[in-house]
Amino acid sequence: MTTSFSLAVVGGDGIGPEVTAQALAVLDVVAPAHGLSFATTDYDLGARRYHATGETLPDSVLEEIRGHDAILLGAVGDPSVPSGVLERGLLLKLRFALDHYVNLRPSKLYSGVATPLGDHVTSRGDIDFVVVREGTEGPYVGNGGAIRVGTPHELATEVSINTAFGVERVVRDAFARAQARPRKKLTLVHKNNVLVHAGHLWTRTVDAVATEFPEVSVDYLHVDAATIFLVTDPARFDVIVTDNLFGDILTDLAAAITGGIGLAASGNVNPDGTAPSMFEPVHGSAPDIAGQSKADPTAAILSGGMLLDHLGFPEAAAQITAAVEADITERSSTPRSTEEVGEAIASRVAGGVPVG
Ligand SMILES: NC(=O)C1=CN([C@@H]2O[C@H](COP(=O)(O)OP(=O)(O)OC[C@H]3O[C@@H](n4cnc5c(N)ncnc54)[C@H](O)[C@@H]3O)[C@@H](O)[C@H]2O)C=CC1
Ligand SMILES: CC(C)CC(=O)C(=O)O
Ligand SMILES: [Mg+2]
């Protein structure tokens, strides 16, 4: 019996469509062996549509996308469009409207992967953590404004919104993830020595929810110190829970120490299932390499794996991870095109790489 899922595909801008094509190709290879099939709908959203129609994400299109089982997204943003228009009007509109309150960003250092950490890395297998980034609040909600723009007296605000409801649900999700992992450790990252209003809400919430998860050990780091330890002692982390902005910044750093931004996958998860979750690489549209087949599609392919896991097919997801791990372990210094990397991973999936 085949289970069919509908997938909304938003390639987006720059390298987005290039890497998404490879992720879809890998999903097509892995699906039949697990009794799965995908009906995909491509959405022309991003800079091209914006220039043609002035639209970023019309509500009618949002509602169509909402009708799918899951979303695969490439990246959004283009130098020809004022900064923020597509990022807010398309990407964040999707995340907020579909209540993607858990922005899940795993980081693992695979064997053979070059890392700038060099001699700091004593045991690669120990660098295996996940950042649970709040996805619908914080300074990204657009609560702010500017007056006297362009004058020496300009005043601009960008207010970080943190609700007890929003913080508690993501903190509870992070605890549940920590509970399910072997090390059962959760680190709250914030800046509660300065951002006392939001910071104390996060701290109190973690303390309260911790009582429901007595097996999980909890610690706290200010975000500035967290950046130190991500470089000097990344193995100390298991599950990090943090707000939208800190999580955005920390996960680019996490990507850099575990092999680069081209390997970092993510899921924008709606854990309640009230709307489809969305899977995308951590990276952006990389205008500096767009259209040159230089983008590493691995992050997009791994995001496809996260999508499978979310839909309830962990064995299929593990097959993708195993194929990626085998590919990156054997990568040579000879550069490969986006398509070559995608095809190499797809053929390892097709060949049935043993899942370790
Ligand atoms: N989720 C999304 O759609 C995101 C969108 N953006 C947008 O993307 C645009 C560019 O943003 P940047 O800050 O430059 O971040 P970026 O992640 O696009 O690029 C940063 C650097 O990483 C490299 N890079 C990124 N992905 C790569 C890949 N798969 N393989 C090899 N190299 C890769 C780029 O070439 C660039 O040198 C902006 O418009 C930004 O707003 C940025 C981050 C996330
Ligand atoms: C472009 C931003 C809205 C998103 C971003 O940088 C991210 O989610 O990592
Ligand atoms: Mg980012």
Cβ 91 under 6 angstroms from ligand 2: yes
Q: Both 210 and 313 in a single domain?
A: no
What single-letter amino acid sits at 244?
Answer: N
**Ligand 1 centroid to 163 CA: how many Å?**
30
What single-letter amino acid sits at 293?
Answer: S
* CATH number, domain with residue 162: 3.40.718.10
Name the 3-class secondary structure at 72.
Answer: strand
Q: Both 60 and 140 in a single domain?
A: no
Q: Both 48 and 183 in a single domain?
A: no
Q: Relative to the CA of 77, which ligand 2 atom is closest?
A: 1
Q: What is the pLDDT of residues 7-53, one digit of tens each?
A: 999 999 999 999 999 999 999 999 999 999 999 999 999 999 999 99
Residue 65 dihedral angles phi and psi, to the nearest 5°: -60, -40
* pLDDT score of 121: 67
- Number of structural domains (the chain) is 2
* pLDDT score of 270: 98
DSSP lists the bridge partners of residue 146 as 156
* pLDDT score of 355: 74
What single-letter amino acid sits at 165?
Answer: F
What number is the ipTM of this complex? 0.99
Q: Both 84 and 125 in a single domain?
A: no
- Atom 24 of ligand 1, nearest CA residue: 286
Domain that holds residue 301: 1-101+268-356
The answer to whether 213 and 175 have CB atoms below 8 angstroms apart is yes
* pLDDT score of 356: 65
Final residue before a domain boundary, out of 208, 232, 258: 258
**Ligand 2 centroid to 225 CA: how many Å?**
22
Say if 157 falls within a structural domain.
yes
All residues at 6 or more sequence positions from 11 whose CB lies less than 8 Å from its CB, including other chains? 17, 20, 21, 42, 46, 73, 74
Give the DSSP H/E element, type plus range, for residue 223.
helix 223-232
- Which residue among 28, 69, 233, 252 is the active-site one? 252
* pLDDT score of 335: 92
Half-sphere exposure of 285 (CA within 13 A, CB side): 21
Q: Both 120 and 152 in a single domain?
A: yes
Q: What is the pLDDT of residues 158-198, one digit of tens each?
A: 999 999 999 999 999 999 999 999 999 999 999 999 999 99
- The binding site consists of 95, 105, 133, 224, 248, 252, 284-296
Say if 349 falls within a structural domain.
yes
Q: Both 142 and 222 in a single domain?
A: yes
* pLDDT score of 64: 98
Q: Both 306 and 212 in a single domain?
A: no
Mean pLDDT per block of 10 residues along the chain (356 residues) reads 95 98 98 96 98 98 98 98 98 98 96 79 81 98 98 98 98 98 98 98 98 98 97 95 98 96 98 98 98 98 98 97 93 92 97 76
